[in-house]
């Protein structure tokens, strides 16, 4: 939500008369901009004496076809105000109707986050004046019956330990419109395409379990993974469809009371989440060390400068005058509905990773990379079930296929190599039809043409050379280098590598290294 | 008995972006206290056995199928605005300081 700075302070200076006569929608241009005190220089000393606590608020736009309460399309981009209707413009006489899929996605997410589900859930109006929603209020869920309560996310730290981050609520609300930039116009211009898009809010519990910038990043990454697996969100932080808003505070080691927290915005990558919190914690510590007080305020992360910038000071707690939304009837869930939702949940990333390690004997790091994208994890399992060697398939996906896919700027699963043909490729290597070196070339060809591995091998004649052919090549190389052979016979075994290299060059990768070793040894003995 | 003081009424007015004159403040404070007195009368009823309700109609919500349908043409949508910016294609609202 966007709020006019110091609106509370300024409100009293306007008279009702202004409201009626103002040529624009509402009258207030705050006449008293806040006097902001620039903070002390950032603390660069030890942070050892301070503890950091971070409350995490995340908003995710839900992956629905239509908006929360109307049939306008839920999409990104496009010309301003081309996805609006009487409902999302808040015109009189309209009534909101819940989007079933939006409700379903929040229920699924809440279940994936191990929440209790409120079997009867109600919606509220959050009233405020900033015109990012034309109705003058946002439909949200307040109080103790949001769709999900008391959940958790387990994060896995760099040292391999896991930590449980408790979640206090998962609720459903609607997104707001955006102001189109209009510097120098003297007014703002609103685009309501995003107004009414279903939005899910996920809030961690208090006192916060997240106690460092790194844990905050891990939490955000894990949560995003869950949202992608559930299919609730596309997780695009750079487009703002997933918005991570941490509330960091610091306190001296040994003190009970939590410090004043600030709210961080504009974090549009995981890196920004970590760097932003690190910076903000240091800035707060610097203020405390300088004898100042940390103000309850919103700071924006400036990724280019690597600093947090004060956006607005919260002088008083905002008063949103929440009340139950009279236009919306409570939602009651049948126990069978919840069980259907629970049964439809996919295996989540952390469980999948552990299973890949135990079932396919993959290294933890490889398994973690594979499961970080559900489509890639599914691609992997399909290749393995098509008869691919688990370790080899993982190596091809994490190596060559990742390289080819990122070069083409597409997902692995979106390319022309199918899980079945990748499995076939690993089999041709395993049964000695081709060498690993040749397999790389075959895969590149498969990536370009979409052929099967065997088709490429046959078309380009890439089968491993038979022992006779390799023996011929070896004989020719030995005959061409009598001086080297003499050196080897004289006891300098190391130079055999040169002869081996010559044979490999001749074979263009189509000879098996152990064949060359054996035949070369024979040929030298006979020479 | 629940009552509001003039400063409470002024705060409510501020939330609604309405600046009140002292005369208005005095009149509204009286009116609001009269209303609250009525609620105190309602409070005399024994409602111990009646579950709290958040909605006046004892029904539960029907949900809508998630299907996108055409929206309003932009000129029609903008025609409801008291002022619009035809170049940017948006509704004009007061300038805000911070986003
Ligand atoms: Zn609409």
Residue B13 is assigned to a structural domain of this protein: yes
- Provide the CA A214 distance to its chain's centre, in angstroms: 15
Residue B32 is assigned to a structural domain of this protein: yes
Q: Are residues A358 and A495 in the same domain?
A: no
Assess A25–B contact: CB distance below 8 Å, yes or no: yes
Q: How far apart are CA A501 and CA A506, in angstroms?
A: 9
pLDDT of residue A273: 97
Residue A100 is assigned to a structural domain of this protein: yes
SS3 call for B25 = helix
pLDDT of residue A41: 46
Nearest to A29 among B57, B65, B94 (CB): B94
Contact call for B69 and A71, based on CB within 8 A: yes
Nearest to A150 by CA among A184, A174, A186, A114: A114
Interface with chain B: mutation pick from A107, A190, A297, highest number of B CBs within 10 Å: A190
Q: What is the mean pLDDT of each run of 10 residues along chain B (99 residues)?
A: 89 85 95 94 88 73 93 95 90 71
- Is A444 in contact with A462 (CB distance < 8 Å)? no
Nearest to A136 by CA among A205, A197, A89: A89
Q: Are residues A351 and A310 in the same domain?
A: no
Ligand 1 centroid to Cα of residue A91, in Å, is 10
Question: Which residues are within 8 A (CB) of A375 and not within 5 positions of it... i.e. 6 or more apart?
Answer: A411, A412, A413
Query: Which of A411, A431, A460 is where one domain is finished?
Result: A460
Residue B10 is assigned to a structural domain of this protein: yes
Residue A21 is assigned to a structural domain of this protein: no
Residue A11 is assigned to a structural domain of this protein: no
Q: What is the mean pLDDT of each run of 10 residues along chain A (527 residues)?
A: 33 31 35 35 60 97 98 95 97 95 98 97 91 93 96 92 96 95 79 97 97 96 94 94 97 91 95 96 92 92 92 78 92 95 93 94 94 92 95 95 93 93 93 86 94 90 76 84 85 85 81 82 81
Q: How far apart are CA A306 and CA A269, in angstroms?
A: 13
Assess B17–A contact: CB distance below 8 Å, yes or no: yes
Provide the shortest C-alpha distance from residue B8 to chain A (in Å).
Answer: 13
Contact call for B19 and A15, based on CB within 8 A: yes
CA dist list (Å): A4 to A33, A261, A362: 10, 20, 53
Residue A402 is assigned to a structural domain of this protein: yes
Q: Are residues A163 and A240 in the same domain?
A: yes
Residue B38 is assigned to a structural domain of this protein: yes
| CATH label of the domain that carries residue A484 | 1.10.10
Residue B92 is assigned to a structural domain of this protein: no
Helices marked H in A397-495 = 402-407, 419-430, 436-449, 453-460, 467-480, 482-489
Provide the shortest C-alpha distance from residue B43 to chain A (in Å).
Answer: 20
Contact call for B14 and A186, based on CB within 8 A: no
Q: Are residues A204 and A328 in the same domain?
A: yes
Nearest to B61 among A189, A298, A329 (CB): A329
Q: Are residues A77 and A191 in the same domain?
A: yes
Contact call for B19 and A187, based on CB within 8 A: no
Nearest to B60 among A12, A89, A331 (CB): A331
Provide the shortest C-alpha distance from residue A25 to chain B (in Å).
Answer: 6
Q: Are residues A351 and A318 in the same domain?
A: no
| The total number of structural domains that make up chain B | 1
Q: Are residues A257 and A154 in the same domain?
A: yes
Residue B22 is assigned to a structural domain of this protein: yes
In chain A, what residues touch B63 (CB-CB under 8 Å)?
Answer: 97-100, 103, 331
pLDDT of residue A325: 94
Question: Which residues are within 8 A (CB) of A399 and not within 5 positions of it... i.e. 6 or more apart?
Answer: none
Query: What digits encode the pLDDT tens for the residues B6-23?
Result: 999 998 888 888 889 999
Task: Supply the range of the domain harboring residue B19.
Answer: 6-43
Residue B28 is assigned to a structural domain of this protein: yes
Q: Are residues A81 and A205 in the same domain?
A: yes
Task: Supply the range of the domain harboring residue A437.
Answer: 346-460
Question: Which residues are within 8 A (CB) of B72 and not within 5 positions of it... i.e. 6 or more apart?
Answer: A84, A85, A86, A89
pLDDT of residue A151: 98
Residue A43 is assigned to a structural domain of this protein: no
Q: CB pairs below 8 Å between A and B: how many?
A: 181
Question: Which residues are within 8 A (CB) of A172 and not within 5 positions of it... i.e. 6 or more apart?
Answer: A68, A102, A103, A106, A123, A141, A146, A147, A198, A199, A200, A201
pLDDT of residue A433: 85
Contact call for A312 and B74, based on CB within 8 A: no
Assess A198–B contact: CB distance below 8 Å, yes or no: no
In chain B, what residues touch A174 (CB-CB under 8 Å)?
Answer: none
Q: How far apart are CA A14 and CA A274, in angstroms?
A: 42
Assess A258–B contact: CB distance below 8 Å, yes or no: no
- For the question of an ipTM over 0.85, the answer is no
pLDDT of residue A48: 66
pLDDT of residue A182: 64
Q: Are residues A310 and A353 in the same domain?
A: no
Residue A27 is assigned to a structural domain of this protein: no
Q: Are residues A359 and A500 in the same domain?
A: no
Q: How far apart are CA A285 and CA A266, in angstroms?
A: 22
Residue B94 is assigned to a structural domain of this protein: no
Residue A49 is assigned to a structural domain of this protein: no
User: Is cis: bond before A207, omega within 30 of 0?
Assistant: yes
Q: Are residues A319 and A352 in the same domain?
A: no
In chain B, what residues touch A319 (CB-CB under 8 Å)?
Answer: 15
Residue A496 is assigned to a structural domain of this protein: yes
| The total number of structural domains that make up chain A | 3
Query: Which of A406, A436, A460 is where one domain is finished?
Result: A460
Assess B71–A contact: CB distance below 8 Å, yes or no: yes
Q: Are residues A113 and A198 in the same domain?
A: yes
Nearest to B64 among A27, A97, A185 (CB): A97
Assess A99–B contact: CB distance below 8 Å, yes or no: yes
Provide the shortest C-alpha distance from residue B2 to chain A (in Å).
Answer: 19
How many CB atoms lie under 10 A from the CB of residue A66? 24
């Amino acid at each position: 939500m966007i709020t006019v700075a110091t609106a509370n302070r300024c409100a009293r200076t306007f008279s009702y008369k202004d409201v009626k006569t103002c040529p624009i929608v509402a009258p207030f241009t705050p006449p008293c901009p806040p006097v902001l005190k620039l903070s002390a220089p950032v603390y660069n000393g030890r942070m050892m004496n301070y503890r950091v606590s971070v409350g995490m608020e995340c908003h995710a736009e839900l992956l629905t076809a239509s908006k929360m309460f109307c049939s306008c399309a839920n999409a990104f981009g496009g010309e301003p105000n081309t996805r609006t209707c009487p409902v999302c413009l808040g015109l009189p006489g309209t009534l909101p109707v819940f989007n079933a899929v939006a409700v379903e996605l929040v229920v699924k997410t809440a279940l994936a986050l191990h929440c209790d589900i409120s079997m009867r859930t109600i919606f509220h109006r959050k009233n405020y004046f900033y015109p990012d929603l034309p109705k003058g209020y946002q439909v949200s869920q307040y109080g103790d019956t949001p769709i999900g309560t008391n959940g958790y996310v387990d994060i896995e730290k760099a040292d391999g330990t896991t930590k449980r981050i408790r979640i206090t609520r998962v609720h459903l609300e609607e997104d707001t419109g955006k102001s189109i930039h209009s510097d120098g116009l003297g007014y703002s211009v609103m685009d309501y395409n995003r107004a009414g898009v279903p939005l899910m809010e996920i809030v961690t519990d208090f006192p916060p379990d997240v106690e460092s910038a790194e844990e905050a990043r891990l939490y955000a990454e894990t949560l995003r993974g869950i949202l992608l697996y559930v299919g609730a969100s596309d997780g695009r932080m750079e487009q703002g469809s997933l918005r991570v808003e941490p509330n960091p505070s610091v306190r001296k080691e040994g003190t009970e009371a939590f410090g004043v927290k600030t709210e961080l915005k504009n974090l549009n990558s995981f890196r920004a989440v970590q760097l932003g919190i690190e910076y903000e914690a240091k800035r707060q510590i610097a203020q405390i060390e300088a004898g100042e007080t940390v103000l309850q305020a919103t700071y924006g992360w400036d990724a280019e400068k690597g600093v947090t910038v004060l956006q607005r000071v919260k002088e008083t707690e905002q008063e949103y005058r929440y009340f139950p939304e009279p236009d919306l009837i409570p939602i009651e869930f049948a126990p069978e509905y919840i069980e259907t939702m629970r049964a439809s949940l996919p295996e989540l990333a952390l469980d999948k990773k552990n299973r890949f390690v135990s079932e396919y004997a993959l290294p933890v790091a490889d398994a973690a990379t594979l499961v970080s994208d559900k489509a890639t994890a599914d691609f992997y399992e399909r290749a393995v079930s098509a008869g691919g060697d688990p370790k080899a398939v993982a190596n091809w996906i994490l190596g060559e296929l990742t390289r080819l896919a990122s070069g083409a700027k597409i997902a692995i699963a979106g390319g022309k190599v199918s899980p079945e043909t990748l499995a076939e490729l690993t089999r041709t290597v395993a049964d000695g039809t081709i060498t690993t070196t040749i397999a790389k070339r075959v895969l590149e060809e498969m990536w370009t043409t979409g052929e099967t591995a065997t088709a490429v091998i046959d078309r380009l004649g890439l089968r491993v050379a038979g022992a006779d052919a390799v023996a011929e090549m070896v004989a020719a190389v030995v005959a061409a280098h009598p001086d080297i052979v003499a050196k080897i016979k004289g006891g300098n075994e190391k130079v055999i590598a040169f002869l081996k290299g010559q044979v490999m060059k001749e074979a263009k990768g189509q000879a098996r290294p152990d064949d060359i070793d054996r035949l070369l040894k024979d040929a030298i003995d006979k020479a | 008995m629940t009552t509001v003081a003039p400063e409470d009424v002024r705060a409510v007015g501020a939330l609604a972006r309405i600046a009140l004159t002292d005369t208005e403040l005095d009149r509204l404070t009286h009116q609001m206290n009269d209303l609250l007195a009525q609620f105190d009368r309602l409070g005399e009823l024994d409602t111990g056995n009646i579950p709290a309700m958040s909605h006046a109609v004892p029904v539960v919500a029907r949900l809508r199928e998630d299907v996108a349908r055409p929206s309003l043409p932009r000129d029609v949508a903008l025609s409801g605005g008291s002022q619009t910016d035809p170049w940017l294609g948006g509704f004009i609202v007061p300038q805000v300081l911070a986003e």
